[in-house]
């Protein structure tokens, strides 16, 4: 896809996110605090094969371990029409860094406090990356964060195993886009992914 088209998608999502802030005054709520972009948009190519968006949500970190399927996060993604856009996407809790083992270099293009950052959008269009703040962890920062996230993901996996055969739990987690097996697979994959990344981040070159 053309770089300009991909950036247009970012602008459209920012406009929707800004409009939905009004839901914070209702019982529905709107947990989205920030949106960050990563991937090939942070490079110089005219076309983009892979780009990713990270949604930062004001939810407890224990509720948002890596790869978890969270109703509020999925609802926000649906509002932003991310399923129909050319992005991989995930969500992160506000209390954790936006980066992780999967997405290590990111730029924020929207926040609930400041809304769309037009300077970032212009810099992405013109590929003037000296005009944006790219966040990226050091090796030690990443390893420390991975250890914290591994503990959370292991607790989540244990909870999945403990409730997997519970009839009420299985009924509540069954639907057109989810299943008990889906939740268990995500929980197990998260633990193995983080474990592998932690081994890689702390191994000698």
| Same domain as 125, residue 148 | no
Q: How is residue 82 annotated by DSSP?
A: G
| Same domain as 121, residue 169 | no
Q: Mark which of 85, 100, 131 sits at the end of a domain.
A: 131
End-to-end CA distance of the chain: 36
pLDDT at 50 over 90: no
| Same domain as 43, residue 66 | yes
pLDDT band at 200 (very low <50, low <70, confident <90, very high): confident
pLDDT at 156 over 70: yes
Spatial distance between the Cα atoms of 151 and 160, rounded to a whole number of angstroms: 14
Q: Are strands 88-93 and 51-57 parallel, antiparallel or unpaired?
A: parallel
pLDDT of residue 176: 84
CATH number, domain containing residue 47: 3.30.460
**What are the pLDDT digits (tens) for 86-131?**
999 999 999 999 999 999 999 999 999 999 999 999 999 999 999 9
Domain that holds residue 98: 3-131
**What are the pLDDT digits (tens) for 69-96?**
999 999 999 999 999 999 999 999 999 9
pLDDT of residue 152: 98
Rounded alpha-carbon distances, angstroms, from residue 164 to 15, 28, 169, 183: 39, 29, 7, 9
Q: Mark which of 85, 111, 131 sits at the end of a domain.
A: 131
| Same domain as 84, residue 157 | no
Higher pLDDT, 155 or 204: 155
pLDDT of residue 205: 37
Which of these ranges, 8-17, 139-148, 167-176, 193-202, has the smallest mean pLDDT?
193-202
Spatial distance between the Cα atoms of 195 and 162, rounded to a whole number of angstroms: 21
pTM, entire model? 0.94
| Same domain as 23, residue 113 | yes
Q: Mark which of 114, 131, 148 sits at the end of a domain.
A: 131
Domain count, the chain: 2
CB environment 28-41: b (16+ within 10 A), e (fewer): eebbbbbbbbbbbb
Q: How is residue 104 annotated by DSSP?
A: -
């Amino acid at each position: 896809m053309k770089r300009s088209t991909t950036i247009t998608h970012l602008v459209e999502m920012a406009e929707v996110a800004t409009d939905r802030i009004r839901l914070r005054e209702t019982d529905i709520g709107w947990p989205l605090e920030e949106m960050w972009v990563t991937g090939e948009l942070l490079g110089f190519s005219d076309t983009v094969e892979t780009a990713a968006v990270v949604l930062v949500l004001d939810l407890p970190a224990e509720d948002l371990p890596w790869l978890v399927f969270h109703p509020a996060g999925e609802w926000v993604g649906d509002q932003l029409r991310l399923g129909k856009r050319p992005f991989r996407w995930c969500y992160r809790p506000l209390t954790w860094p936006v980066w992780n083992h999967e997405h290590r270099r990111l730029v924020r293009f929207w926040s609930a406090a400041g809304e769309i950052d037009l300077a970032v959008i212009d810099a992405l269009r013109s590929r003037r990356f000296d005009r944006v703040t790219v966040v990226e962890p050091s090796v030690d920062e990443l390893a420390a964060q991975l250890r914290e996230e591994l503990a959370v993901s292991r607790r989540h996996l244990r909870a999945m195993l403990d409730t997997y055969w519970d009839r009420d739990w299985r009924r509540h987690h069954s639907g057109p886009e989810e299943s008990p097996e889906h939740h268990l697979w995500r929980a197990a994959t998260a633990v193995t992914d983080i474990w592998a990344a932690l081994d890689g981040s702390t191994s000698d070159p």
